[in-house]
C-alpha cells in the first residue's frame, strides 16, 4: 500500500503516513509556463494499492484538477 498527496494538505498526508507507519509516496507536481499541471510518480507503483490524499478546499477547481491528474498518472503507472 502506498499513499500519495496532492498539494492541498501535505500535513494531513504526513500525519496519516506516520500513524500507519509507512512513507509518503514520492510524487512531483509541477506547472508548465502556460499553467498546465503535470504529475510524475517517482517510484514503482505497479500492482500496488494506492491512495491519494487531496482536499477540495479553495481553490477548489485547481485542487480537483490536480487530483484527477495524479489519479491519471498513477493509473498510467499501472497502480
**pLDDT grade for 13, boundaries at 50, 70 and 90:** very high
Contacts of 1 (CB under 8 A, 6+ apart): 22, 48, 49, 50, 51
Residue 43 belongs to a domain with what CATH number? 3.40.50.2020
Residue numbers of the domain that contains 49: 2-76
* Residues 46-65, mean pLDDT to the nearest whole number: 96
Report the number of distinct structural domains present in the chain: 1
pLDDT digits (tens, 9 = 90+) for 15-53: 999 999 999 999 999 999 999 999 999 999 999 999 999
Q: What is the pLDDT of residue 45?
A: 98
Amino acid at each position: 500500500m502506498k499513499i500519495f498527496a496532492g498539494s492541498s494538505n501535505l500535513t494531513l498526508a504526513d500525519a496519516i503516513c506516520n500513524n500507519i507507519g509507512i512513507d509518503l509516496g514520492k510524487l512531483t507536481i509541477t506547472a508548465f509556463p502556460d499553467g498546465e499541471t503535470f504529475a510524475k510518480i517517482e517510484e514503482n507503483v505497479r500492482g500496488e494499492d494506492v491512495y491519494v490524499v487531496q482536499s477540495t478546499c479553495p481553490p477548489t477547481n485547481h485542487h480537483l484538477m490536480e487530483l484527477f491528474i495524479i489519479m491519471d498518472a498513477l493509473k498510467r503507472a499501472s497502480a
